[in-house]
Amino acid sequence: MVDDEIEFEAPVFTSCACCGNRSTHLVRFVTRRGNAFAVYYADFADGHDMVSLIASVGDWSEDLGAASRRTAFAMRLWVDGDRYQVGLVDAAESGYSDGFLGHILDRNEALAHPLRQEAFDLSDHAVACDRPVIEFLDNQPRGG
């Protein structure tokens, strides 16, 4: 795995729009070799069975207009048996809009995008070392 550093911000709790359960919002800034490189958000609500992850890769400098040089990949994480699964979803399913995170790709665009592997590296980081994400996924009911 590449040598990235992740800054773990404190979680923000809200209520899920669909069920009112506690919803957790995580913001992670990722630095590679000292440079701001990517950001991902993870959102999940108690009682739901997946984590929504949006990973934005590109220019995370403070430059004006940097957001236009970012590309965002909308993903979901879930558990199947003992394994973490990840899948790309369409922009409309991400819960976010183009803007700060850059242009959010639809699934088909994401699958063909040259930065696709960066997005999967970030989801790998999330399931390897992002404790609230891991705890949520590990507390999912097993079997069936």
Q: How far is the CB of 23 from Zn ion (least distance, A)?
A: 7
Rounded to the nearest whole angstrom, what is the least distance from the CB of residue 140 to Zn ion in the complex? 15
Q: Is residue 14 near Zn ion by the rule CB under 5 A?
A: no
* 131-138 vs 116-129: helix crossing angle, rounded to 10: 70
Residue 97: phi and psi, rounded to 5, are: -120, 160
19 near Zn ion (CB under 5 A): yes
CB atoms within 10 A of CB 55: 27
Nearer to Zn ion, 30 or 50 (CB): 50
Backbone angles phi, psi at 118, to 5 degrees: -60, -40
Stretch near Zn ion under the rule CB under 5 A, chosen from 14-22, 86-94, 122-130, 134-142: 14-22
Name which of 37 and 96 has its Cβ closer to Zn ion.
96
Report the C-alpha gap between 132 and 138 in whole angstroms. 10
For residue 5, the cross-strand partners are: 31
49: contact with Zn ion by CB under 5 A? no
Q: Which residues bind Zn ion (CB under 5 A)?
A: 16, 18-19, 45
